[in-house]
Amino acid sequence: MPSIYITGKIAQSGITLLESRGFEINVNTSEVDLNSAQLKEIFSKYDAVVTMINNKIDKEILSSASKNLKIIANYAVGYDNIDISAASQKNIVVCNTPGVASESVAEYTFALITSLNKHLFAADQFVRTGKFTKFDPDLFLSKQLWGQTIGIIGLGRIGTFVGQIAYGGFRMKVLYFDVKPAEDFELLCEAKFSDVETILKESDVVTLHVPLTGKTKHLISKNEFKMMRKSAILVNTCRGPVVDEEALVWALSENEIAGCGLDVFEHEPQISKELMTKENVILTPHTASATYETREKMSAITAQNIIDVFGGKEPFGLVIE
């Protein structure tokens, strides 16, 4: 039977499904990411490889792929870590796990929004460090989210759910940008289709939900921060390089924006030291999709993608160049 290498931990349900179909499975149980040499060796030996978003599968690694390698199954919704063109040239199918993380990432996005707006992390540290000695009516004052304007850049499933939470839960005014207007979303959330510049200028909260492409890299840089309200907050739960991190540090230092919440970083897992010292910043370790439900769905889809490819069927998560 075909052999599969899994480069990191995945939910057991997917492994069990693959084993029930007779696949031979090896898993990297180390906490350390595989390096380029290790990945090249794996690609030269196995019939299928399950990759993580932090595995950079470039042309060099793909050049070592054996003729028997049929599929790279990315354990993620995104797939910008894989050179799709190079894989296609080697007749290797690339799959992802589309649609599974939308609800969890939307929930997490709003957790960052509310935490930033209400200064929750700073207030928590204030208590933990013994500074809370009496009630102070002026302590950690914030604006109500109720009725503020949220700008959603990228209206996929995640952006749509964020808009529903914002409008349905907080009666926020919703502005959004995507490749084209979404009439159903506009009716559901009284949302207004806007360009990016308008969103940056008019929003109290700007949240990013775009894929990483050549066009979206550094979509938010110094000029964009200058457009934003000084009282605005930025949240990024999509891809780190969408935000120019150096420009973000500048914007925070110059009080061009009021704060930001980041679950992804431009040079992940490295994070600029300046960001680490800012009190008006919340930093989390790429965990927006980390729910039990999402991980189980990702594992099942990953396994089924592999089963379908070896069964001669078109997989659900097929990535087309």
CB 116 within 8 A of CB 234: no
User: CATH topology for 3-100+292-310?
Assistant: Rossmann fold (3.40.50)
* Catalytic-residue membership of 171: no
Give the count of beta carbons closer than 10 Å to the beta carbon of residue 78.
17
Of 20, 23, 85, 88, nearest in space to 50 by CA: 23
Active-site option among 103, 268, 274, 296: 268
For the chain, domain boundaries: 3-100+292-310, 102-283
> Which CATH number is 102-283's, of 3.40.50.720, 1.10.357.10, 3.60.150.10, 3.50.50.60?
3.40.50.720
Using the predicted structure, report yes or no on whether residue 321 has a pLDDT greater than 80.
Answer: no
Q: Same CATH fold, 102-283 and 3-100+292-310?
A: yes
Over residues 14-66, the pLDDT tens digits come to 999 999 999 999 999 988 889 999 999 999 999 999 999 999 999 999 999 99
* Catalytic-residue membership of 239: yes
Mean pLDDT along residues 229-250: 97
Using the predicted structure, report yes or no on whether residue 320 has a pLDDT greater than 90.
Answer: no
Q: What is the average pLDDT value for the chain, to the nearest integer?
A: 96
Active-site option among 119, 202, 209, 239: 239
Contacts of 111 (CB under 8 A, 6+ apart): none
Mean pLDDT along residues 282-291: 96
Pairing outcome for strands 281-283 and 48-51:
unpaired
DSSP 240: G
Mean pLDDT along residues 284-295: 96
Predicted confidence at residue 254, as pLDDT, reads 96
CA distance 129 to 286: 27
Using the predicted structure, report yes or no on whether residue 279 has a pLDDT greater than 90.
Answer: no
Predicted confidence at residue 91, as pLDDT, reads 95
C-alpha count within 13 angstroms, C-beta hemisphere, residue 54: 17
Over residues 290-303, the pLDDT tens digits come to 999 999 999 999 99
* Catalytic-residue membership of 268: yes
